[in-house]
Structure 1
């Protein structure tokens, strides 16, 4: 698949993709022997309010932080971050947000949670000790469009913290050219806006701190490598992955894991785009890429619509939200075998992990059968 083969119309694709572009990645740790998986995963679930999106687990605070956008329209609820008890999912605190929150990135050592305000192209900075929003980073100003109105040209998706270098990386989407925003977390100023991520959605983002690089993915099937010292795209890896969404990276083995979602909605838009795109893979898999050679080394079959990934390298486990299937599955990250599956309907979205207690947290969005505007959920899963 070439870059010219899937240049999608902005208005159509932006609306359709908004509902499926969510999830978060977690850093890898030193690998040890895998732990056993429960035959029947234990699932505890609690509904809260509208617009469940991403999660983060803070070991320092011993709490789960869940962001809720509040939904849209006249019946929208206020956007907020909820601090949840990791054992009971009881609400310990509510942190109001002036702008709608979607993605999150945690800097646990600094006691900060960064919340992506997708539709406002900004990031809200939350201080975890005080439980208050303490800063706002405006990543881009509005531009005047052909109809004479002012709009943001880019919306946001993933956020990744580079704590050692006091950086925050944020992907900005636009069919005119997706970018990577680089923020200095000391000054809360944009250091640089890195262009060249492709004139399409660029969903995935993961940091390789030791290698001084970040990886992104785009819907041209590319993996892009950005040097974090030079702050520029230094390599483009054309892959066989048609819908590369979320990414995780295993540094010891130099393997990049990417969900290949396989949604017909996206495939239809790709086929309607210029260049005569033809699908050759149904998706519904996690693709494993050797980043040094750029070759696909394995394809892991998953449930329908895989989206978020989380790598627990200490247990050699890879967790995947199978959004369309209403499930979360655990896979062995070495043998690629499925270890177990938890049912969490309707639409499991993003993941967070308490590695010490081996507890997984899942944000869950409502499906079409739930009443419009009803509360969405967070689940606690023990495999």
Structure 2
């Protein structure tokens, strides 16, 4: 990013940040290079998933958006992000989740409404599970986020339709157990507490829905109170991604509409904190070891298509921003390896020619951050 543009963007961001965040300047790539490894080898990259027991990180790749086009999952070494293998799939993968106990990687074929099950070690495709069905308009219901209960082998998948869908799948048998309709508008975000509760992030009047993971029954709903019943697409918030702090009973929710991170009590839904992130706020990962949260943002929205994204590091004990990293151009999805102290993220390139960083053949990237080295920076 040109230095002049960077300074202008930084000044605009600092104006909107609390005083605690203004104490430290935004870290530019040169500032955090000693803590980072980046490999721009993923065409059309989406989610990443760290698998510590194999020493690898997987990256979903969608190089072609045409209907019927194939996609890939790349297997990278965790330490230097070099490519080990490319796994081509008949259907394009967007989301990734791991059943560590069985060694299976789940790839969400979002636009085809299905899951592809891959043996993570060998790269062999084991099966495909169809979930979505064609709607009244003939378009396939999309899948989005995936979570796994390794104790039962059950897999949970959200569907961001206007009514909202959640599928509960027996991953071992490869069959659908429950389809829950009318969960909540744009049901997208997903977190599983490991003890029987599913948290769904959505829009509408009730932005968080808590389901029984065994039956799909609604246990409770949380609401900010900012959207009236029946407002539909005029929702004030959209909790697009979630992350749980099970030990402290907290739910971290990214609101893509307001560009903020909400921290809620996971039992009552009471708001504990709210922090500004930026336009296009996207993903969040909570680090229980360090009691920190990491949040990505694009720095753009529909009204402002030119901008640059970054990563915000949140002190989750004091609910203050610790650091903000400029990560050209659009840092997206996160995956954390707490044991190794490493954070992985996919980084997308601009798709619009008016963006200064646009290049017709640009490749997406995976970035690795050494969290210990990052914390040691001044």
Shared fold (TM-score, shorter chain, > 0.5): yes
Ranges in structure 1 where 5+ consecutive residues have no aligned partner: 1-37, 263-282
Write the mapping of 1:17-56 to structure 2, written as runs, cut at 5 A: 40-41=31-32, 42-56=35-49
Alpha-carbon spacing, 1:80–1:45, altered in 2? closer, same or farther (3 Å)? same
1:274 paired residue number? none
1:63 paired residue number? 56
Taking the aligned partners of 2:202 and 2:339, their CA distance within structure 1 comes to 33
Ranges in structure 2 where 5+ consecutive residues have no aligned partner: 1-26, 227-235, 300-307
Runs of 4+ in structure 1 deviating by more than 6 angstroms, as ranges, are none
1:80 paired residue number? 72
1:128 paired residue number? 120
2:254 paired residue number? 259
Write the mapping of 1:193-204 to structure 2, written as runs, cut at 5 A: 193-198=179-184, 200-204=185-189
1:335 paired residue number? 318
Select 2:172's aligned residue among 186, 197, 209: 186
Q: Is the 8 A contact 1:142 1:151 kept in 2?
A: yes
Taking the aligned partners of 1:357 and 1:104, their CA distance within structure 2 comes to 20
1:219 paired residue number? 203
Select 1:305's aligned residue among 280, 284, 299: 280
Taking the aligned partners of 2:271 and 2:135, their CA distance within structure 1 comes to 40
1:276 paired residue number? none
Q: Does 1:292 align with 2:279?
A: no
3-state DSSP of counterpart to 2:289: helix
Select 1:380's aligned residue among 364, 368, 372: 368
Taking the aligned partners of 1:353 and 1:254, their CA distance within structure 2 comes to 19
3-state DSSP of counterpart to 2:199: strand
3-state DSSP of counterpart to 1:119: helix
Q: RMSD across aligned C-alpha pairs, in angstroms?
A: 2.1
Select 1:238's aligned residue among 187, 206, 223: 223
Taking the aligned partners of 1:160 and 1:238, their CA distance within structure 2 comes to 23
Q: Is the 8 A contact 2:60 2:93 kept in 1?
A: yes
2:293 paired residue number? 318
Shift of 1:373: 4.8
Query: Which has the higher relative contact order, 1 or 2, with Cα contacts under 8 A spaced 6 or more apart?
Result: 1
Give the paired residue count. Answer: 317
Q: Is the 8 A contact 2:178 2:215 kept in 1?
A: no
Deviation string, structure 1 residues 210-248 (Cα, Å, up to 9, x no partner) = 2x1101011115210101133212212112571211111
1:173 paired residue number? 160
3-state DSSP of counterpart to 1:88: coil
3-state DSSP of counterpart to 1:357: coil
Taking the aligned partners of 1:349 and 1:252, their CA distance within structure 2 comes to 26
Shift of 1:66: 0.4
Deviation string, structure 1 residues 264-295 (Cα, Å, up to 9, x no partner) = xxxxxxxxxxxxxxxxxxx2221111132222
3-state DSSP of counterpart to 1:229: coil
2:133 paired residue number? 141
Q: Is the 8 A contact 1:352 1:361 kept in 2?
A: yes
TM-score, length of structure 2 as denominator length: 0.79
Shift of 1:166: 1.3
TM-score, length of structure 1 as denominator length: 0.78
Deviation string, structure 1 residues 59-86 (Cα, Å, up to 9, x no partner) = 1111010010123249x98511111011
